[in-house]
Structure 1
Amino acid sequence: MARSPSFSRPSNLRSLQPAVDVLNRADAFAALRAGVEQIAALQGDLRQLLPDYLASSVEPGFIKGGVLALFAGHNALAARLRHLEPRLLADLQQRGWTVNALKIQVRPQAMKEPPPVKQARMTPVAVEALYALSESLAPSPLQAALARMSARHRRNQDRGGSGG
């Protein structure tokens, strides 16, 4: 299927202005640009005012009628944010934000990839010491767990390390 000449690529790409320049010139985007700048500034202040575990999971919304919408990643964070609400509101007002109240809502964030499962590696000497310890204990849940652990590490070493 042939492409129409009207959809062909311009021959002189340098003559095109970046989209940012177009947005900066267009009055229609002034309100959008101002809103984006406000949210960015607000997010910067929130990162400074909130503890790290909250700052990374809280996103600011717009300020409407003196009410700032804050979106927490899950219910537990929203509950913690509600406990901090009076101090946070005062701190935001002190920084010049015209906010009279906070509206805290839950907006689940995309799941982050789980960290890789850690695989403990033991030296042959450590595996033998673990086995000897399990043999020296009376039968118990601890003794059984140590025996399973030493057996698992013995199998892993047999598979990976010996060339026989």
Structure 2
Amino acid sequence: MSRFSSFSKFATPRKPQAVSEVLGRTDAFAALRAGVEQISALERDLAQLLPDYLATNVEPGFIKDGTLTLFAAHSALAARLRQVERRLLDQLQQRGWPVRALTIKVRPRPMAEPPAPKQARMTPAGAAALQALSRTLAPSPLQAALAKMAARHGKPSDEKK
């Protein structure tokens, strides 16, 4: 018997609820929901109005006192955004956005993890062939590189004996 069994007769099982339903319950959540919906609509409009390379690297902020803040991923994109600022502002106003000015700021995105370095895999036969080739060459940078590569990928079978 569970140690919580005495409580189970008082608790009713809860049903999953939609986030939109939960956010609409209180005034604070309703304001949050409205802000999220506004940013989502702005993102959709910016995706339609800007070229792809800009739309994927620009994030809208909130509209405050008629000024919309746009965040660019780096300074070169911010400069390009400033070049199309007047046209973008006009198009946003035509779509009904209460915007009188744009502020463009740079908000760098976190660097993505660099891909893991490639790890070459070589069979013992391949390593043995490299070792044999390096023995036939005169001392040179190529000969040293081949010997080092063969050693790194495993000893040839004749040296294991």
Q: TM-score range by the shorter chain?
A: 0.5 to 0.7
Question: Using a 3 Å threshold, how does the CA distance of structure 1 residues 27 and 44 change in structure 2: closer, same or farther?
Answer: same
Amino acid at match of 2:60: P
Residue 122 of structure 1: aligned partner: none
The Cα offsets for residues 86-122 of structure 1, whole Å up to 9 and x where unpaired, read as 111111111111111100001111123446779xxxx
- TM-score scaled by length of structure 2: 0.62
Question: Using a 3 Å threshold, how does the CA distance of structure 1 residues 91 and 15 change in structure 2: closer, same or farther?
Answer: closer
Size of the aligned set, in residue pairs, is 145
Residue 81 of structure 1: aligned partner: 81
**Distance in 1 between residues matched to 2:48 and 2:117, nearest whole Å:** 33
RMSD over aligned CA atoms reads 4.1
Between Structure 1 and Structure 2, whose CA radius of gyration is higher?
2
Residue 46 of structure 1: aligned partner: 46
**Distance in 2 between residues matched to 1:48 and 1:113, nearest whole Å:** 30
**Distance in 1 between residues matched to 2:85 and 2:58, nearest whole Å:** 13
Runs of at least 4 residues off by over 2 Å: 8-22, 112-118
The percent of aligned pairs where both chains have the same amino acid is 65
Residue 32 of structure 1: aligned partner: 32
Q: SS at 1:97's partner residue? A: coil
Question: Using a 3 Å threshold, how does the CA distance of structure 1 residues 113 and 36 change in structure 2: closer, same or farther?
Answer: same
Q: Any gaps of 5 or more consecutive residues in structure 2?
A: 119-161
Q: Any gaps of 5 or more consecutive residues in structure 1?
A: 119-164
**Distance in 2 between residues matched to 1:114 and 1:53, nearest whole Å:** 22
